[in-house]
Amino acid sequence: MVIVEFIVVPLGEESLSRYVTEVVKLLERKGVKYQLTPMSTIIEVPTIKEAFAVIGEAHELMFELGARRVSTTVRIDDRRDRERHMEDKVKSVLKKLSGEGGGR
């Protein structure tokens, strides 16, 4: 699985929630596993090709919604030695925290 964090920002807008809502609807229509965070969206897809296709659609969607300029940032975690999922990354950190007594 490829885990991808992306941020699509229609520049010049004060409120982004309506844009984010439409991106989430797009992901749901396409059946893409996602996690919404306060600052970005993370998706999990089988291939990098699929990741770029979905992100490209999200980028174009901003223009369809009326944006005149869009900036998109992408971070990719493409691990091929074993299959990992979004939840595995979080569980790994939480497990280490609990093993250390929950400290910092």
Domain borders along the chain are 2-99
What backbone torsions phi and psi does residue 26 show, to the nearest 5 degrees? -60, -45
Mean pLDDT across the chain: 93
Q: Is the pLDDT score of 36 beyond 60?
A: yes
List the one residue out of 82, 88, 99, 101 whose CA is nearest residue 35.
88
Q: Is the pLDDT score of 103 beyond 60?
A: no
What backbone torsions phi and psi does residue 12 show, to the nearest 5 degrees? 95, 0
Rounded to an integer, the average pLDDT of 76-97 is 91
- The fold for domain 2-99 equals Alpha-Beta Plaits (3.30.70)
Q: What is the pTM of this model?
A: 0.86
What confidence category does residue 83 fall into, taking pLDDT thresholds of 50, 70 and 90?
confident
pLDDT tens, residue by residue, 66-81: 999 999 999 999 998 9
